[in-house]
Amino acid sequence: MAVQDTETDSRLGVDLGAGLTLKNPVMPASGCFGPEMGTLFDLGQLGALVPKTIFYGERAGNPAPRTAESPAGMLNSIGIPSRGVEHFLTELLPEYTKYDSPVIVSIGGLGIEEYDRLAERLNGEPGVAGLEVNISCPNLEAGGMEIGASPANVERVLRGVSDRFDGPVIAKLTPNITSIADIAKASEQGGATAISAINTLSGMVIDVDNQRTVTGTMTGGVSGPAIRPIAVRMVWQVCSAVSLPVVGIGGITSAKDALEFILAGATAVAVGTANFTRPTTMLDVIEGLKTYVETHHLSSIDDVRGQLEEGMRVAIEPPRPATPVSGRAG
């Protein structure tokens, strides 16, 4: 069976701010996507393309094993190997710009200055529709988690990037913090034009017979359905704290899941781990969102953004959904 292509539906179009409009709100999460997926289906159907985070120079990943499973989730300690920005521009970017979807380049840094250098280098490069600033990877010895947990550092990084890059700048936040609202505000303050949340939660899985962690490092990042309730809550907090458009990320496997984020206030969503589970998940989500706008008679998916009420309340006969959203399992 061939993968079914989706048709563009104008009701799914969304605006991520700073001129970044998407034909639909569905994109891959950084690190869970590559041009290799292009052999499976036409990537031009996606709202945007997000390559794995790049660094300015070359760096290696972590010792193997780099992935393991946890209940309804996975743990990764990939560690962001990167061949550097020049290699990215010459070898990888052309693999992405072949498709009819804007490319949002995810950038990382071992220190604050690396972000500045990357922003400067990528500014004006054709094919770079925007930047996602990864201040949240918990696997890095330096940079990553430390920068993303401090409002002052976050503001500084975003200021540096937005001063140097003329286009959309999305701050990607870590969940390993006390107040994601504060970090979102700091990002806004620093000039971010959108927020994406969340990255992986720091976690650890142990092989008790071998008395070792199951990945090559002590800790890894937890992703997948297991973290979805936490991610939805954080997106809701971010949306309550800032007025920027938000990309909701964390455990999305279906249109139903994507809608949780949209109802919590997200303008768009990104699919990470579920791309491994089922490589056509993003197309399933797009199709499911079409069904939702259709059955809910919406002129735009944006009409339900943030339309969330508290508490389902107990009913002796709970209100049965008139038109259940198709989505797998649960």
Among all residues, which ones are annotated catalytic?
A: 137
Which of 21, 179, 240, 277 is the binder for other proteins (CB under 8 A)?
277
Does 81 bind a copy of itself (CB under 8 A)? Our answer is: no
Scanning residues 68 to 87, which ones bind other proteins (CB under 8 A)? 68-69, 71-74, 76, 78, 81-83
CB 302 within 8 A of CB 47: no
Q: How far is the CB of 319 from a copy of itself (least distance, A)?
A: 6
Among 6, 199, 213, 267, binds ligand FMN (CB under 6 A): 199
Q: Return the residue of 32, 104, 171, 201 that touches a copy of itself, per CB under 8 A.
A: 201
Which residue of 45, 101, 134, 254 would you call a contact of ligand FMN, by CB under 6 A?
A: 134
Binders of ligand FAD among 52-81, rule CB under 6 A? 68-69
Reported as half-sphere exposure (CB side, CA atoms, 13 A), residue 5 has a value of: 8
119/286 with CB nearer other proteins: 286
User: Under DSSP, is residue 179 helix (H, G, I), strand (E, B) or coil?
Assistant: coil
Residue 261 contacts residue 289 (beta carbons within 8 Å): no
Q: Which of 18, 204, 241, 298 binds a copy of itself (CB under 8 A)?
A: 204
Q: Is 110 in the site for ligand FMN (CB under 6 A)?
A: no
Report the distance separating Cα 69 and Cα 64, nearest Å: 14
β-bridge pairing 67-70 and 73-76 = antiparallel
Of 132, 137, 210, 208, give the one whose Cα is nearest residue 165.
132
Sheet with 26-28: strands ordered across: 26-28, 268-271, 246-249, 194-197, 169-172, 130-134, 104-107
**Of ligand FMN, other proteins, ligand FAD, none, which one sits near residue 162, judging by CB under 5 to 8 A according to partner kind?**
none
Least Å from the CB of residue 80 to ligand FMN? 5
Q: Which of residues 272-301 bind a copy of itself (CB under 8 A)?
A: 292
Name which of 106, 110, 108 is nearest 96 in CA terms.
Answer: 106
CB distance 215 to 65 below 8 Å: yes
One residue of 2, 39, 60, 319 binding a copy of itself per CB under 8 A: 319
82 binds ligand FMN (CB under 6 A): no
Q: How far apart are alpha carbons 178 and 142 in whole angstroms? A: 20
Please tell me the distance from the alpha carbon of residue 167 to that of residue 122, in angstroms, as a whole number.
10
Residues at the contact surface with ligand FMN, assessed by CB under 6 A: 29-32, 52-53, 76, 78, 80, 106, 134, 137, 172, 199-200, 223-224, 227, 249-252, 271-274
